Amino acid sequence: MQRILVTGGAGFLGSHMCERLVDEGHDVICLDNFFTAQKSNVAHLLNRPNFELIRHDVTLPIFLEVDQIYHMACPAAPGHYQFNPIKTIKTSVMGSINMLGMAKRCGARILLASTSEIYGDPLIHPQPESYWGNVNTIGIRSCYDEGKRVAETLFMDYYRKNKVDIRIVRIFNTYGPRMHPYDGRVVSNFIRQALQGQSITIFGEGEQTRSFCYRNDLVEGIFRLMNNEENFIGPVNIGNPGEFTIRELAELVIELTGAKVAIEKRPLPPDDPSRRRPDITLAKKHLNWEPQIPLREGLQKTIDWFKSINFDNYRPPTPNYV
């Protein structure tokens, strides 16, 4: 039994991580400022004796005694991280410094939830971890991309200089139950639009690609990285190599929901990566991990969950959704 802190623990991925760790019997502290979180994501954990919830902002110092830290606090959807871009950078940079300081003081192992966005609009395809990326420093996605790049740098410097026990995972587009219905991300947007009988909004021609990983596969990969005892620290890509155009995704959502809705084109936002697909050779080799759930199956589970919730219970965190 370990004392484990999950920052961003009431968010989409963080809440699944908390659930897994509570079920394994660990003493879990979930820390969140509730910017994009939902209390309902962790409501079922509140009466568990080994779960504790703290409302706190990671840009501010906090002193806790823990053995492991999953550092996942950061808005992840473009509409959320672009709402207050300066706060997004502060969250990645100051939040990482505060959590790395805690890890150093406690001798804790700390994992960073980094992102495929550090590859920017990639010139190498699929993307291996050795690729340094193609990122605009001054665009509307830079607050997120560069913030995570600095966070990776901080983690590596604390590792080299202060011997902090770190792990870095680069997460590719992940979806599943508990995505915020108004986060504006493509999977949640398309499903909500289809279920509400609205047109599906494709940005640009819909020819850009993404690779979609179901949340259970992702949680398993992160868990294996954190608990790997062969001194493999990453960075490691965790994602599903199945690659789809956004138009293909729209058509699949329409087919699976049975919705009679049109596809509507919207302008492509600046710096939108044209393609993305993880090379997962390292994850297979060091973590013996590869995704198990294909898109069609994961989408069906996600659609079923979206059908079970009441959209009126969700407050859009920002006005940046379509």
By annotation, the residues acting in catalysis are 144
Q: Which does 16 bind (CB under 5 to 8 A by kind): ligand UDP, ligand NAD, none?
A: none
Q: Which does 145 bind (CB under 5 to 8 A by kind): ligand NAD, ligand UDP, none?
A: none
Q: Which does 115 bind (CB under 5 to 8 A by kind): ligand UDP, ligand NAD, none?
A: ligand NAD
Q: Token pair 């992940």 is at which residue? A: 174
d(CA 106, CA 66): 7
Tokens at 310, concatenated = 């009441």
Q: What is the largest CA-CA distance in the chain?
A: 58
Region of residue 183 (left: phi > 0; alpha: psi -120 to 50; beta: else)? alpha
In the chain, which ranges are continuous DSSP H helix? 12-23, 78-81, 85-106, 142-162, 186-195, 215-226, 246-257, 281-287, 295-308
299 binds ligand NAD (CB under 6 A): no
322 binds ligand UDP (CB under 6 A): yes
210 binds ligand UDP (CB under 6 A): yes
142 binds ligand UDP (CB under 6 A): no
In DSSP notation, 300-314 reads HHHHHHHHHS-GGG-
Residue 131 or 199: the one with the smaller Cβ distance to ligand NAD is 131
Q: Which of residues 108-127 bind ligand NAD (CB under 6 A)?
A: 113, 115
Tell me the backbone φ, ψ of residue 280, rounded to 5 degrees.
Answer: -105, 25
Tokens at 111, concatenated = 């994992």
Which residue in 3, 44, 29, 6 sits closest to 222, CA to CA?
A: 6
Residue 235 or 261: the one with the smaller Cβ distance to ligand NAD is 235
203 binds ligand UDP (CB under 6 A): yes
d(CA 182, CA 200): 14
Candidates 6-14, 145-153, 197-205, 222-230: pick the segment binding ligand UDP (CB under 6 A). 197-205
186 binds ligand UDP (CB under 6 A): yes
Tell me the backbone φ, ψ of residue 306, rounded to 5 degrees.
Answer: -60, -35
Q: Which of residues 29-88 bind ligand NAD (CB under 6 A)?
A: 32-37, 57-59, 72-76, 80
145 binds ligand NAD (CB under 6 A): no
CA 95 centroid distance within chain: 16
∠ CA 79-83-85 to the nearest 5 degrees? 110
CA 163 centroid distance within chain: 26
Q: Which of residues 151-180 bind ligand UDP (CB under 6 A)?
A: 173
Q: In whole angstroms, how close is the CB of 274 to ligand UDP at the nearest point?
A: 8
Q: Which does 106 bind (CB under 5 to 8 A by kind): ligand UDP, ligand NAD, none?
A: none
Q: Which of residues 162-191 bind ligand NAD (CB under 6 A)?
A: 171, 173-174
Q: By rule CB under 6 A, what count of residues binds ligand UDP? A: 15
151 binds ligand NAD (CB under 6 A): no
Residue 108 or 218: the one with the smaller Cβ distance to ligand UDP is 218
Tokens at 35, concatenated = 């910017």
Contact residues for ligand UDP, defined by CB under 6 A: 77-78, 173, 185-186, 189, 201-203, 208, 210, 246, 269, 272, 322
